[in-house]
Amino acid sequence: MSSDALAFWLREPGVGEIRATPVDEPGPGEVFVRTLRSGVSRGTETLVFRGGVPASQYAAMRAPFQDGEFPGPVKYGYLNVGVVELGPPELRGRTVFCLFPHQTAYVVPAQAVVVVPDDVPPARAVLAGTVETAVNALWDATPLLGDRITVVGAGMVGCCVARLLSRFPGVRVTLVDVDPARGDVADALGVDFALPADAADGCDLVVHTSATSAGLQHSMDLLADEGTVIDLSWYGDAEVRLSLGGAFHSRRLGIRASQVGVVAAARRGRRTAAERLALALDLLRDPAFDALITGVSRFDELPDVMARLAGGSLPALCHTLTYGEG
């Protein structure tokens, strides 16, 4: 037997729609999940919505439960929180997180869901995939006690990184963004804030998340001698320009990429991706992350919401979607 769910699809770049999608009964080792909330990963999902994924990256950019192909039609997304209605007894009735697109109900292998702690509300739990990215980045970055660290770009990922860094003893964390309104978010996260022109240099580590050439260059300029930039940005098909003349070599500066697709090398032999995601959900017990939930709409409004997010007329960090009583 199967039933129909509703799912958000990108029909073609710039055009989204809600489609009926068949959902089969769960088999052995599978769960049927009814969605409560999902979140829009604004940077990546709006890039996908605009058709900005380069053809060379179609395979690398696939989401775990993506249907269709880039540039479209494609069902894309990965911040989903729901309740298990059918499946193994130990999961039935539990609220879970899954790297699944925006859809009212779905069936996945039981190992694809992670139980949300009872004291983490569904609206905050949608951030699990983003906090997981931040965890992986810090495993890559290996910050040290007392470091002077700047995060350039106060989007979802940058804010999650900044909040995790704020819990390191003796670390001074500054969040840098071109939007002065992000200063209020920085306050809620317990970190300093600066506009680019006011950011202090001499940093041991800079984490870059703005997805702009200017932001990456500014990150390099903020480093102390032999400092490192960890770049989490996904640029899609945009050209990136970076000046590596001047003091880049004489000051022995470094730049490294971090990406959540695999567990960071520093922990790859000792942590699985599932353990990393469970850690992210445990870290979301922290109510400070609520500052990142900046908007909410109904699921059926998503075609319009995504167009407004991509066009910039709807400002947001994490925009969430409700499903019935979610």
Evaluate whether 124 touches 190 at the Cβ level (below 8 Å): no
pLDDT single digits (tens) 32-80: 999 999 999 888 899 999 999 999 989 988 999 999 999 999 999 999 9
- Domain 130-257 adopts which CATH fold? Rossmann fold (3.40.50)
pTM of the predicted structure, to 2 decimals? 0.92
Domain boundaries, the chain: 2-127+288-322, 130-257
What top-level class would CATH report for the domain 2-127+288-322?
Answer: alpha beta
- The secondary structure of 180-246 as a DSSP string is TTHHHHHHHHT-EEE-GGG----EEEEEE-S-SHHHHHHHHHTEEEEEEEEE----TT--------T
Tokens representing residue 1 in the block: 């037997």
Predicted confidence at residue 2, as pLDDT, reads 58
Q: How many residues appear in the chain?
A: 326
pLDDT single digits (tens) 146-198: 999 999 999 999 999 999 999 999 999 999 999 999 999 999 999 999 999 99
Per-residue pLDDT averaged across 278-293, rounded? 97
**E strands, 103-159, where?**
105-109, 113-115, 148-152
Q: Which of 213-218's residues contact partners 24+ apart within 8 Å by CB, and which partners?
A: 213/239, 213/240, 213/241, 213/242, 215/152, 215/153, 216/240, 216/242, 216/255, 217/241, 217/242, 217/243, 218/152, 218/176
